[in-house]
Structure 1
Amino acid sequence: MTNDRLRDALLRQGLTRDMAAQAINVDAKTIERWITKNRTPYPKHRNALAALLRESESFLWPDARGSERAAEIATSEVVAVYPHRHEMPREVWSRLIDSAASQLDILVYAGLFLTENHKLVKTLRTKSRAGTNIRFLFGDPDSLNVTSRSREENIGPAAIAAKIRNAIMFFQPLADEPAIDIRLHETTLYNSIYRFDNEMLVNTHVYGRMAAHSPVLHLRQLAGGDLFDTYADSFNAVWEDSKPLAGPHVSMHN
């Protein structure tokens, strides 16, 4: 069985098998066996190759670590747990936004609380022009899942749709920035996800409660960990099924 993930990771980084072998001090035939025969490298080689390819060990070799060790690493990835999002210290949000240098991802239905920071649009524009890739995923205000979620929170069937349109109006000036992409999704949102490079906030959704009153996990990605990657993969799955923001009428539509 071929290790397609390892093969594709080499291609994405523009590395031949000889180049990778030289970089981590192994024979090129060893790299070949890791790919074509799906052999699992020793831990020191897994770590070195994962770092070279900028991928997690758990992605390249999902079965390399035992379940007990995986659980230990997952626990270590949890920096903090907040019982309610609205009680999180403002400095946590500020630090994470300011520290994001390469990737900033936001998956929400509305995320209207973010608009309380009146400098956020300016901050994100500056960051994008400095090289930070920024992706927004808002709920489609006309989708059935948004209406259902609004009813489940007992705030009326149209409340969240209205919040989405207000949030889009706030962030729409960023839509023309090349490094900022704003899209709409129609998924059932089980968690809101906020990624800042290798740190992440996961706001769980609890039936009958607004997201502001629900718990938040603060995660930091670790080599060989799976918890952070689970939510990162979830974001990417929603992104693949999303659609571009159509235009200004989305935020104003009633």
Structure 2
Amino acid sequence: MKLYPHRAVVPKELWTSLYAKATRHFDLVVYAGFWLSEDPLFFRLIREKAQADVRAAHVGRSRQSRGGPARRRRGYNSLYRADDDLLVNGHVYGVGAYLAPVLHLSQVPGGELFSTYAASIERIWEGSRTLTSPQLENEAAV
């Protein structure tokens, strides 16, 4: 486990390196996630993972995923899972998410912290609803 005092100090390459290695889970559970749109490599990774049958799921308040299905939900944390690694960006009332702390968790045998957040992602996913985009559906058909 590693703790970053703010999301803004998490190394940029950590996000893409974790997701580039993902073979089972590519989960984004965010309130908005607008900052991710600043990295074209991240969008490419989403598409590549979706094409490789990695579950590329974006669950958020209002954003559309560019590769996997997008869904709506409300939550207390933004959760970023890439297989056995998970970044938890805790939401702090009155503070922008970029200034809130981030926990970097790795799944370890017998560990409960990772499993608690992973189970939360599954519950959110099951209780959310799919949003569609004609533009994305047209892109997928090409």
Which bin holds the TM-score, normalised by the shorter protein?
0.7 to 0.9
Aligned residue in 2 for 1:198? 84
CA drift of 1:181 comes to 2.3
User: Counterpart of 1:105 in structure 2: which amino acid?
Assistant: D
Aligned residue in 2 for 1:86? 8
CA drift of 1:246 comes to 4.0
TM-score when scaled to structure 2? 0.87
Question: Mind listing any 5+ residue stretches in structure 2 that lack a counterpart?
Answer: 136-142
Poorly superposed stretches of 4+, deviation over 3 Å? 246-249
Query: Within 5 Å, which residues of 2 pair with 1:84-233?
Result: 84-139=6-61, 164=62, 167-168=63-64, 171-172=65-66, 174=67, 180-185=68-73, 187=74, 189-233=75-119
User: Counterpart of 2:70 in structure 1: which amino acid?
Assistant: I
Conserved in 1, the CA contact under 8 Å of 2:79 and 2:88? yes
CA drift of 1:248 comes to 5.3
- Determine the C-alpha separation between the residues in 2 that align with 1:191 and 1:89: 19
Q: What is the count of residue pairs matched by the alignment?
A: 135
Q: Root-mean-square deviation (CA), in Å?
A: 1.7
- Determine the C-alpha separation between the residues in 2 that align with 1:123 and 1:207: 31
Cα deviation, 1:33-65, whole Å, max 9, x if unaligned, reads xxxxxxxxxxxxxxxxxxxxxxxxxxxxxxxxx
Conserved in 1, the CA contact under 8 Å of 2:29 and 2:78? yes
- Determine the C-alpha separation between the residues in 1 that align with 2:122 and 2:49: 21
User: Counterpart of 2:112 in structure 1: which amino acid?
Assistant: D
TM-score when scaled to structure 1? 0.50
Higher-Rg member (1/2): 1
- Determine the C-alpha separation between the residues in 2 that align with 1:119 and 1:94: 8
- Determine the C-alpha separation between the residues in 2 that align with 1:235 and 1:202: 11
Q: Which has the higher strand share?
A: 2
Query: Within 5 Å, which residues of 2 pair with 1:70-85?
Result: 78=1, 80-85=2-7
Q: % of aligned pairs identical?
A: 39
User: Counterpart of 2:69 in structure 1: which amino acid?
Assistant: D
CA drift of 1:247 comes to 3.4
Aligned residue in 2 for 1:68? none
- Determine the C-alpha separation between the residues in 2 that align with 1:242 and 1:107: 11
User: Counterpart of 1:183 in structure 2: which amino acid?
Assistant: R
CA drift of 1:217 comes to 0.1
Q: Which has the higher helix share?
A: 1
- Determine the C-alpha separation between the residues in 2 that align with 1:110 and 1:248: 20
Over 3 Å counting, the alpha-carbon distance change for 1:119 and 1:94 in structure 2 is closer
CA drift of 1:129 comes to 1.6
